Structure 1
Amino acid sequence: MLEAAALIDVPAAVNFAKGQFQNWMEFNLRISPDYAVVVYSVGIRHGGQAEWEYVWKKAKETKVASETEVMMSSLAHSQEPWLLWRYIRWSLDTGKIRMQDVRNLFSYFAVTPLGRSVALQFMLTEWDEINKRFGMDAYLLRDIIYATTSLINTDFEYKQLERLYRENPPAGFASKAAENSLALVRSNIYWMKLNHDTIYEWLKKNAGTDSEGGINRN
């Protein structure tokens, strides 16, 4: 419940998580494992470079794999595009991100709208290097493609992907993953055309109002 509330910026949930994060960062007070996912992600989402660098440092220091994964995933919740861009570029730097962790990294970026946008732009601009570096492991390249493209739902982005795959096809049998990703994007686009306006109008009609009489965006 806390995670869901924080995700839609319910003030009490966000303030609780931010307080827990600050106590951890400033006084090294232990965060309950039950709250760790939401506390780290809220701390990163509502923080800046200092919070990001602190979590990155702790992720590298901890010897507990589950803690490392939670911290690494939370780093993709940043709302600072340059931090996200630097983070995903580290997928090409084995000194920062181990090869066996690249799959997870791309899945972390798939969680938030900004993360998905950054991941897609990274794939579009660095495709030659991604294809060359990860093409030796077709399963890894397949998972990168899926994590980055599975929620795309616009004609413009579809055409970008189609051109990308046509001009530089994925290595090995990952080409099948590219075909599947295009099919999924077409399905997403079709779904949006059928349902977007109806859902938008329903939400607009049924949205609550805040204390000042405006639409409650939550």
Structure 2
Amino acid sequence: MTQYLRTLEALQTDFRLPGTIDLSTLLQFRDILQVEESPPDFEAVWAFLSPPLDEALAALARMREREGSSLETDIAQRLAIIGQHSQQIAERVPLMADAYRERLQQRITELLEEGEVDPNRLAQEVVFFAERSDISEELTRLHSHIQEFRHIMTQPEPVGRKLDFLAQEMHREINTIGAKANDSTIAQVVVHMKSELE
């Protein structure tokens, strides 16, 4: 920069140019100032960033553990409620069978009053009831899914997808129970089970 200033002053004197030579005049020359960029010191940057980053990651891990623990407790409580509801349904099944048997006997009485009863038709009604109202398989599978859900929750590895799949299977069983059971009490219990599952 000094060399530029001397050269400009010499030119001004030699050619008798008016004006003053100041800093703004010197800065008009592009190469008057050169900035040498040194390569970044990644080790120094890492030494600066590493402690707060480690602290933030540790805080995130602690938060996720607390959240996971809370979710585990909540899910366990909901599974217990679903299990209690499935037990209520299992206890209700014999009453449901008795109610259907009464309706079937009433229907038979009506058919007898109308005339002859077709034995094939009567057998079909009984078979239809047996197939339609038997929810023991669904209750067994639901119980099995609940047990498997509890087991998977104890695993150390990530299990979200497995639990999501089991929740879908439980939902399917609960829906089937609701569809097969022609009983308002069971229908109400099914609604509560779905609410807990969601």
The TM-score, its normalising length taken from structure 1, stands at 0.20
Q: Which has the larger radius of gyration?
A: 2
The TM-score, its normalising length taken from structure 2, stands at 0.22
Q: Whose relative contact order is higher, 1 or 2, with alpha carbons under 8 Å and at least 6 apart?
A: 2
Higher fraction of helix = 2
